[in-house]
Amino acid sequence: MTVYFIGAGPGDPELITVKGRRLISECPLVLYAGSLVPKEVVLAANPVAEIVNTADLSLDQIIARLHAAHQQGLDVARVHTGDPALYGAIGEQIRELERLGIPYQVVPGVTAAFAGAAMLRRELTLPEISQTLILTRHAGKTPMPEGESLPELAQHRATMAIYLSVDRLREIVAELAPHYGLDCPAAVLHRVSWPDQDGVVGTLADIAAQVEAKGFTRTALILVGRALQPEGFPTSYLYSAEHAEHYRRGDS
Ligand SMILES: C[S@@+](CC[C@H](N)C(=O)[O-])C[C@H]1O[C@@H](n2cnc3c(N)ncnc32)[C@H](O)[C@@H]1O
């Protein structure tokens, strides 16, 4: 018996891994985390499987379900949005499974940041513009650990994907602008890959007003960085003649 933490992807039911979908279709118990997991993904379950929305369950109640399944020898598909490793609260479930000696595996998924880059049709890591992507959030009920406040992270001027924070966009702009500049490209993408996906693209100067006009208050991803609207950058080493020569010679 195994608990499989499975990333369902950002919304489009085709953006789940083949492995994740297969496991959902095979497990007799499917627990999914609320309305952000696409219905079609959950409906891939076996018609006789039990399907439970855990949105209103406490951690103790979820662990009790997993423990009962373990005692009955039933595999469980535990489905989370995007990738389970990011803001998925699997850490505390894993801690309990380890305490109870219940086997588990994690199957990755497409996180909102990469679905967002695909929506914009942009590369987030461009030579000489940014070679780093910071995935973060603004402090909410969960405080930021020391050294991880937005003004501290902003000093790197790396491409930044900010989760769970669209309701604090004006504060975020005020914290980022001194480092990135008000003319830095920014995008706020709402319900990426869902049928009603929407988004705005602008700069730190105008993004908050655009978002307020749209009324996005949740399920939106903030992307910031010069890689979003590059004005010119060198061809990456991957496609250079020098790399092709190394490749022909068998170097990596
Ligand atoms: C609880 S976190 C879960 C993140 C998820 N594990 C992932 O990897 O994308 C929820 C936040 O992820 C972002 N998010 C998740 N799905 C999204 C989507 N389809 N479009 C835009 N943002 C999304 C939003 O910032 C939202 O507030």
**Which domains are assigned to the chain?**
3-107 (3.40.1010.10), 112-228 (3.30.950.10)
DSSP state string for 168-218? GHHHHHHHHHHHH-TTSEEEEEESTTSTT-EEEEEETTTHHHHHHHHT--S
Cα 228 to ligand 1 centroid, rounded to whole Å? 19
Kindly list the distances between the CA atom of residue 242 and the CA atoms of 24, 64, 129, 131, 247, in Å, as whole numbers in the listed order: 45, 58, 21, 20, 9
Structure tokens at 35: 């309305």
Ligand 1 binding site (Cβ under 6 Å of any ligand atom): 10-11, 36, 80-83, 86-88, 111-112, 163-164, 189, 191-194, 218-221
Is residue 94 packed enough to be buried (19+ CB in 10 Å), middle (13-18) or exposed (0-12)?
Answer: middle
Determine the 3-state secondary structure of 52 from DSSP.
strand
Predicted confidence (pLDDT) per residue in 182-225, tens digit: 999 999 999 999 999 999 999 999 999 999 999 999 999 999 99
Mutate to test the pocket of ligand 1, among 133, 163, 168 (most ligand atoms within 8 A of CB): 163
Q: Could you report how far apart the first and last alpha carbons of the chain are, in Å?
A: 41
**Angle CA(237)–CA(238)–CA(244) in degrees, nearest 5?**
95
171-181 confidence digits (pLDDT tens): 999 999 999 99
The HSE-up count of residue 100 (CA atoms within 13 Å, CB side) is 21
CB count in 10 Å sphere of residue 73: 8
* Summary mean pLDDT of the chain: 94
Mean per-residue pLDDT, 152-179:
98
Entry pTM = 0.93
**Nearest Cα to 175, choosing from 194, 189, 162?**
162
Six-digit token string for 216: 């996005």
